[in-house]
Each structure stands twice: as C-alpha cells, then as structure tokens.
C-alpha cells in the first residue's frame, strides 16, 4: 500500500469541464496517490458543490461572483474555503498547499492562474493549450527560470512528451501531430455552409467540451496545437507537421535525425494522458480499455485539406509570423466559436472572422505580457464587431 505521506496534492483549475471531471475520476480511482487541494469552476455551481462535498478540498473558486453565496452556503458545514471572481483564481494559484496544478480552464482565461503557478514553482499539468498559444515565450521562459515541469495533457502533446522520455540527447528532426479530421472529414464548402451547432459538436472519436469540439470540426484545434508544440518542445515551425488519421489510434509521432520514428498509441481516452501527467514520472495501473489491433486492421493517414478548412492555414501563418499573431488568432477564434455556439454566425463565418481580425490588429514582433493582454482585448472587440454584419 502506498505511503499516504507521498500523496500528490492536485489543484484542478476547471474542475467541472470534460478534463476536470475525468481528472477527478483518476483521483477517485487512486486515493492513495492523489488528493484534491483546490477546485475551480466558472458557472457550474451545482457540480462544483457536489465535487467539493465528495473530495473535501482546502479551497474552491466559483468564477461567477453572483453564485458565490449559493456555493458558500452549501459548503458552510465543511472546512472548505470558498472564493469567487477572476482575481480569486490567481489568489488560490498563489497558495503553497498544492503540488501540481491541472490547468484545465478553457481559453485565454487560463493564462493568469497558470503563470502564477509557474511563478510559485508548482508543477503544471497543462490541458489549456491557449496559455502557450497566447504567450508561450513568456510562460516557457518563466518555467525554465523556475525549473518548473510543464507536462502536457493534450493527447497529441502527451504522445510527443512520452516519445521523448529518455531521448534528451537526441535531436528531433520533426514531430507529426495527428488529427482525426473531425466530423466533417472530406466535406467541401458547399456542405459546410449549412452546418449547424449540434452537428459540429458530434466528434467521431473523442468526448470533449463544446469549445474544443468546434475547434476540432474547423481544424483550428490542430493549428493551436502546432503553436503549443513549438513552445513545449522548443521547435522551429518547419519541424511541425500535421497528418489526418481518422482512427485516432496513433496520437502523435516523433522523427529523430537518424530517421527513426517513435509513436504513442492507444484508444482515444483522455483519462490516460491525464493520469500520465499527474503521476509522472511513474506509470500507474488502471482498468482503462486496452487497444486490440485485431479490431483495427487498417490505420490510415492523409494530408489535411487546408483549402476547405482554412483555419489550419491561418494558424500555420500565425505560427510562422510569431509575435502577437497567435494571440490575435486565438482571441478572434474564441469570439467566433462563442458566436457559432449561439447560432449568431455560420460555420464558415468563423474562419472569415479570424482572418479579418488577423489583418486588422497591429502586429507586434516582441510583445510583453501587457501587450499580449492588450492585443487579446483589441482582437476580441474587433471580432465581436463582425458578428451579424
């Protein structure tokens, strides 16, 4: 039996979303290895209360301040501290009482608390790709200065990370990120123009939240992953390739300078990369379904259709240009996805919104943190002005 003093204390930022709830499944299955120190949610007060009553964290944060009293009253008879608001996320990230942050807040909102955790020399299991898309240079520099491990949770980046264990002295020639192609693989613009919200949310292989499901359908998710990979693995943009792999069995690959390729494979289940990140450097036993190759006699790979799914081309452009351009791309995309999920714009309109915003917002080659925040705000405001025009 594990020594209880070795329990890893986990702070889950975004505990009511898809990643957060699956992380709690992992903790629930391994009570001798992990305990919950902090839970945060934006609006889902009911689930946050339920989680807090089960896991007894030291603190919880509800982002929506109007829900504070409901959460506080529900937890009044417990020892859990209750906080509310955006500033509170940074304040609890500044606590000394946790060992690892699982950064699972969706979008740009995850940047500040993640930076705070890195500044506090806390290990970060990173599920929020936008943090590195927006300010990867600053985040990774701070992580290097503080000797903080940033362990990716995205299945693709987890795969690359796993392939690189033990390879620190061997040069990467390129990495290959696999994409499922989403629910509209092979479709053309005359089909996509009529796509509605519910159809776009139906991913063929993965169970994900609404934002990432739409990003997957437009291939923006893969573009954001390219930018994230650049910073995580210190790569040149030309070392990053995307291939469409509809079966989602090969999660990504690394090619070394001798031509050898390593791949990480498995069934599409996010609990595996979540568990790997939280337990690293150990692998721990689980009862997840195992891959049976006899059920997958054919694994296929093909070029992405960047003419139809132009978000991937726009993200590649932002990757190569650098500076604040990925920040602008991400901000415009968050507004576009928000509008599409509310039936305010069409499926193809999202790409047009991102492209126009990238053309409009001034380019800054070497932005500081404040300039990233300013660029984000300007891009959001401009993208929002395009809705229903």
User: Which pLDDT score is estimated for 342?
Assistant: 94
Is residue 243 a contact partner of residue 179, using CB atoms and an 8 Å limit? Answer: yes
Q: Which of 74, 78, 11 is closest to 48 using CA atoms?
A: 74
State the average pLDDT over residues 177-195.
93
The residue ranges of every structural domain in the chain are 4-152, 157-321
**pLDDT score for 108:** 83
Q: Which two tokens stand for residue 109?
A: 């909102």
**pLDDT at 358 > cutoff 50:** yes
Question: What is the band of 206 on the pLDDT scale with cuts at 50, 70, 90?
Answer: low
- Give the separation between CA 26 and CA 16, rounded to whole angstroms: 14
pLDDT interval class at 4 (50, 70, 90): very low
Domain 4-152 has what CATH class? alpha beta
Sheet (strand 123-126) strand order: 81-84, 59-62, 34-41, 8-13, 100-103, 123-126, 150-152
Confidence tier at 3 by pLDDT (50, 70, 90): very low
User: H helices of the chain, where?
Assistant: 18-29, 45-55, 68-74, 86-93, 111-119, 130-146, 155-164, 189-192, 197-200, 210-218, 220-232, 271-279, 310-321, 325-341, 347-360, 369-385
**DSSP 8-state code for residue 7:** P
Confidence at residue 49, expressed as pLDDT on a 0 to 100 scale: 98
Pick left, alpha or beta for residue 365 (phi over 0 → left; psi -120 to 50 → alpha; otherwise beta). alpha
Mean pLDDT for the stretch of residues 182-202? 91
Mention every residue, 6+ apart, whose C-beta is less than 8 A from residue 167: 254, 256, 262
Residues composing the chain: 389
Could you tell me if 310 and 354 are in contact, meaning their C-beta atoms sit under 8 angstroms apart?
no
Residue 333: CB atoms within 10 A of its CB come to: 31
Interval 108-120: pLDDT, tens = 889 999 999 999 9
Examine the pLDDT at 1 and tell me if it is beyond 60: no
Position 208 scores a pLDDT of 74
Cβ–Cβ under 8 Å, residues 357 and 317: no
pLDDT confidence band for 389 (50 / 70 / 90): low
Q: How far is CA 123 from the centre of its chain?
A: 16
- 37, 34, 38, 36: which is closest to 2 by C-alpha? 34
Check pLDDT > 80 for residue 203. Answer: no
Q: What is residue 283's predicted lDDT score, i.e. its pLDDT?
A: 96
**Residue whose structure tokens are 């020594």:** 3
**Residue 273 CB contacts under 8 Å (≥ 6 apart), including other chains:** 152, 153, 154, 155, 158, 159
Contact 226, 321 (CB under 8 A): no
The pLDDT tens digits of the residues spanning 273-318 come to 999 999 999 999 999 999 999 999 999 999 999 999 999 999 999 9
* pLDDT score recorded for residue 145: 97
**Residue among 64, 7, 68 at smallest CA distance from 32:** 7
């Amino acid at each position: 039996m594990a020594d209880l003093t070795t329990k890893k204390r986990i702070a889950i930022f975004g505990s009511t979303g898809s990643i957060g709830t699956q992380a709690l499944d992992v903790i629930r299955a391994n009570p001798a290895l992990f305990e919950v120190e902090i839970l945060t949610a934006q609006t889902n007060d009911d689930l946050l209360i339920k989680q807090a009553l089960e896991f007894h964290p030291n603190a919880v944060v509800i982002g929506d301040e109007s829900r504070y009293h409901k959460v506080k009253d529900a937890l009044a008879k417990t020892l859990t501290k209750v906080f509310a608001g955006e500033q509170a996320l940074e304040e609890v990230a500044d606590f000394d009482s946790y060992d690892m942050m699982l950064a699972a807040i969706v979008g740009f909102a995850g940047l500040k608390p993640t930076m705070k955790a890195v500044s506090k020399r806390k290990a970060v299991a990173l599920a929020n790709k936008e943090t590195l898309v927006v300010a990867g240079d600053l985040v990774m520099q701070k992580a290097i200065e503080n000797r903080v491990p940033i362990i990716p949770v995205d299945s693709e980046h987890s795969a690359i990370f796993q392939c690189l264990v033990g390879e620190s002295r061997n040069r990467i020639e390129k990495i290959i990120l696999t994409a499922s192609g989403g629910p509209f693989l092979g479709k053309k613009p005359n089909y996509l123009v009529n796509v509605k919200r519910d159809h776009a949310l139906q991913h063929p292989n993965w169970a994900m939240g609404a934002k990432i499901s739409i990003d997957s359908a437009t291939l923006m998710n893969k573009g954001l992953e390219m930018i994230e990979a650049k910073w995580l693995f210190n790569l040149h943009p030309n070392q990053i390739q995307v291939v469409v792999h509809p079966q989602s069995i090969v999660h990504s690959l690394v090619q070394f300078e001798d031509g050898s390729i390593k791949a990480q494979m498995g069934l599409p289940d996010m609990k595996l990369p979540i568990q790997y990140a939280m337990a690293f450097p150990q692998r721990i036993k689980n009862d997840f379904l195992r891959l049976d190759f006899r059920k997958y006699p054919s694994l296929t790979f093909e070029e992405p259709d960047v003419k139809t799914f132009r978000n991937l081309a726009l993200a590649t452009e932002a990757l190569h240009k650098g500076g604040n351009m990925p920040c602008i791309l991400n901000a415009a995309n968050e507004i576009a996805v928000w509008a599409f999920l509310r039936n305010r714009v069409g499926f193809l309109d999202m790409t047009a919104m991102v492209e126009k915003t990238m053309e409009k917002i001034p380019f800054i080659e070497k932005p500081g943190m404040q300039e990233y925040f300013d660029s984000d705000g300007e891009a959001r405001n401009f993208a929002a002005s395009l809705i229903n025009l």
